[in-house]
Amino acid sequence: MDSHGQNEQQVVWAVIDSDIGPLLLAATGEGLVSVGFHATDAVRDKALDRLASRFGTEPVEAPESPLLAEAIRQMAAYFAGGRKDFELPLDWSLISGFNRQVLRELASGVPFGSVVGYGDLARRVGQPGAAQAVGMAMGANPLPVVVPCHRVVESDGGIGGFGGGLETKRKLLALEGVLPEPLF
């Protein structure tokens, strides 16, 4: 508790290298709370400002923190091809309502090496007309890669959009064997 009798949530973070560029990982005592793509200094600072605003405390760089250790280990194993599923505690506090429902279904119901259409995912959560809303939920996903929004594609076979960029989505789908590896 802080001096005002309120619980203060510690947020720790680290930037790790990956096959898709630097990733910002942030965690709380509840679990991994955020994964950010393209973690250049400017992108990182903006993400950390959002986390500070949301949690009311300044995130602390702590790559050796026990709160991050397992997430860092599992990310490395995933990109090395040795892990297909993430088994991490997740802090879902940055997302709520329909978006949380969709992302939880995605995390539990769309395994490594498979894809699902936006409309199919909408049907799975009981909202068959909400394909566009599913797309918005993917764009709001605070835990990409771990909550695999890269596995959501268009029903006509198109790759769809992706907050980390289409090249990043292609690389993740190639890593999982859904798409061929790019030639260059």
As annotated, the active-site residues are 149
Calculate ∠ Cα 19-59-84, nearest 5°.
30
Q: What are phi and psi of 167, to 5 degrees?
A: -65, -40
Chain position carrying tokens 């076979």 = 157
47: Cβ contacts below 8 Å, ≥ 6 apart: 24, 26, 34, 36, 39
- The SS3 assignment for 68 reads helix
Closest listed residue to residue 94, CA positions, set 56, 133, 51: 51
